Structure 1
């Protein structure tokens, strides 16, 4: 019977609540489905609010504390909350930027309480809430913008006592007082992230004393505290800590790391970035935290003695990232290789004193190595990679950035020995040419992602070999590979169904090459054709017809593209969410309006400000990003 309610009378609250929770556990948090559930009736909305688990809140704006109070009252089951002062109304779903709101707002009809309640976004497993009054539209009256304070954090602590994860990002007005309230009320807190917050020692000490279940602590740009705060925290809850990250905190010294080593025996993940750390702090970590599995260090003051200790005591280590080390040599990396035989991921960034001998030790001892990234280690030559190819058959990802001494012959061994390789990144490797890529293509037929930036010696021969041998290739980046032409793209289009393609700066590419891609790669979702001087409207028309799944496109610095081409593009690519088109001299305000009107899912459009008409600005203000030309 039309209008009859056949569900509510039959389902008790407990069963309906279980249904809503299962909907929220779907892909992407089941956001759209939860939206629909909350709009069925008041009962469903009440149950959905009571079961909501996560929220992402903007912390800047008028009455931010009041908004957090209302959120805590309406959604008491929140367990995962992220508060970010960098977010504005423009960064929140469904909101309008303050700077572009009309001066005069439409009146709110007080006769309908339901209409007032709907001003708060509802029904999302990951809520996005703008910090404006819930019953009034925000008016840009020129007043100074406020932000979240300890008062709002206290409201959250009292209203959501089951809080498990809390992230405070750039909340500049939060102090120790707010963290003390969290510690007093949220005993189940397991994860805390503090980024660019001015937190004092009492706040960290209180978290340690009140949150005995804390497992994950992430601090970045945290000012106002000293070693005393972190030491007090780990003394109280160090037994439960599993993950700790402390980055760019000027107060961090060896004293803190010594306390971590003494009180955190179960620590498995550690990331430390500090110029004040010396050998003693790292040695204390190695001796006390023998369960470490993932370690990231950026400690200019540490050297061989510190890394020797890691190799001696951290035998369970699986992932190691060493960044900007100026003092350690082959000696300590060989110690790590001999002691950490379970190593699967290794990152070496700007480690100037390392030579080929280092990677020989790693290759011979760490045969489980699956991911290797070498960035700016200028003393490493061809022999380093040859050792990896001979001894590490399980290698899945290889990244070489600014390695000017490595030559093509190194990839002969990689192709022979690393048949499972799936991802290859080559950036600023000036001596690598077509021969290297041919070796890889012939031996690594499972390659799915190939990224080459500024490969001035890479041309069509390499691309044709990759196309003929690597049929599973899905992501291809060829930035400023000036020898690649349409012939290479013809081979790729014929043999590989790409999902992502970046051709930025490949100046020999024409409409013919992009036409082949459009016809051969219908599943393309990302395309960058920036700085292609001769590509024009024909290519855009073919892309519009052949790539209906396209979501992101960049066509900046394309002087031959016009408004006509954009019209053809948007008629077929209805899924576009992001578009960049600066310095396209033949695109006018009409073309910008075409993109706005034709792409209903558009979230970001980067364009020169003078090309945007007032009508387009009013219609699509939140999605517009303007190139800064005043610098």
Structure 2
């Protein structure tokens, strides 16, 4: 890796998957690659010592994207992440340990140009999310199988897949994200307590997906309808066994005046009784019902 670093001065993208070199080889690249823009590191086998420190190196000035996955002591990339002031995209997946300190330090060091962040199956708390809230350019935040998280700031798109977010966390999101345009909840179990706040506070919300939830039922769909979520144009309800035709009737007859597209998949309690209401709704819209 030292030879690659010294001889490939124009290197812009590096992808390492299941390689056996460690911190020394990675630092050689970072110390010599002043043009490196994208770094992907997956299952780096040589990182066996907890004391490994990677970066920042000269590459920190050029890096726009960092993706690390499946690294037991992934925190050793902390100096690189914190030192990459021009970073636009950060992806951390399946990396053990507590990430609060690194994400907080990143915000304190003014890595505020982040536009897109993906955090999957890692551990952090509200401390880290509060730090991310200082990234004023953040537009896309994906949280997948995360733990103990409650708060995020105003962003355009939010995807939450699994994890332990409930009413408290979703209410915090709704209160702090008035400009939210797209919200996807999969494997999350909110109730009308938080969905009502989302519908009321997020007036710019255009796309809402509620998937694989055991708590979303008629009351939750009815509260979205009652809040008159005026920006909502596309609603997806999938694998929510608590939703019946009663909830759909409330949605189609009383709420969301600009709704033009609804997809309902695998909600077996939505019966044919909803079709008269649906016919009236589709007469003046582009919607379809799957």
TM-score relative to the length of structure 2: 0.82
- Map of 1:429 onto structure 2: 146
Aligned pair in 2 of structure 1 residues 353, 459: CA closer, same or farther (>3 Å)? closer
Cα deviation, residue 347, structure 1: 0.7
Contact 1:540 1:565 in 2 (8 A): yes
1:174-193 equivalences under 5 Å are none
Aligned pair in 2 of structure 1 residues 487, 412: CA closer, same or farther (>3 Å)? same
The structure 1 residue matched to 2:113, chosen from 394, 404, 411, is 394
Deviation readout 1:329-354 (Å, 9 max, x if unpaired):
6888623x222122121111112232
1:22-421 equivalences under 5 Å are 279=1, 283-284=3-4, 286-328=5-47, 334-335=54-55, 337-340=56-59, 341-355=61-75, 357-363=76-82, 365-391=83-109, 392-404=111-123, 406-415=124-133, 417-421=134-138
Structure with more helix by fraction? 1
Would you say 1:549 and 2:226 are equivalent positions?
no
Q: Distance in 2 between matches of 1:543 and 1:555?
A: 16
Q: Distance in 1 between matches of 2:260 and 2:166?
A: 28
Would you say 1:511 and 2:218 are equivalent positions?
yes
Cα deviation, residue 538, structure 1: 2.8
Deviation readout 1:148-186 (Å, 9 max, x if unpaired):
xxxxxxxxxxxxxxxxxxxxxxxxxxxxxxxxxxxxxxx
1 or 2 for the larger relative contact order (CA 8 Å, sep ≥6)? 2
Contact 2:53 2:79 in 1 (8 A): no
Q: Distance in 2 between matches of 1:555 and 1:327?
A: 46
Q: Distance in 1 between matches of 2:67 and 2:251?
A: 38
Give the aligned CA root-mean-square deviation in angstroms: 2.8
Q: Which runs of 5+ in 2 are unaligned?
A: none
Aligned residues: 279
- Map of 2:193 onto structure 1: 487
Q: Distance in 2 between matches of 1:428 and 1:462?
A: 14
Would you say 1:534 and 2:242 are equivalent positions?
yes
Cα deviation, residue 413, structure 1: 2.9
Q: Distance in 1 between matches of 2:117 and 2:63?
A: 15
Cα deviation, residue 472, structure 1: 0.9
Q: Distance in 1 between matches of 2:174 and 2:158?
A: 11
Aligned pair in 2 of structure 1 residues 292, 516: CA closer, same or farther (>3 Å)? farther
Contact 2:66 2:89 in 1 (8 A): yes
Cα deviation, residue 520, structure 1: 0.8
Q: Distance in 2 between matches of 1:419 and 1:377?
A: 26
Aligned pair in 2 of structure 1 residues 353, 465: CA closer, same or farther (>3 Å)? closer
Cα deviation, residue 570, structure 1: 5.8
Aligned pair in 2 of structure 1 residues 333, 526: CA closer, same or farther (>3 Å)? farther
Cα deviation, residue 421, structure 1: 2.4
Cα deviation, residue 473, structure 1: 0.2
Q: Distance in 1 between matches of 2:208 and 2:67?
A: 26
Cα deviation, residue 323, structure 1: 1.6
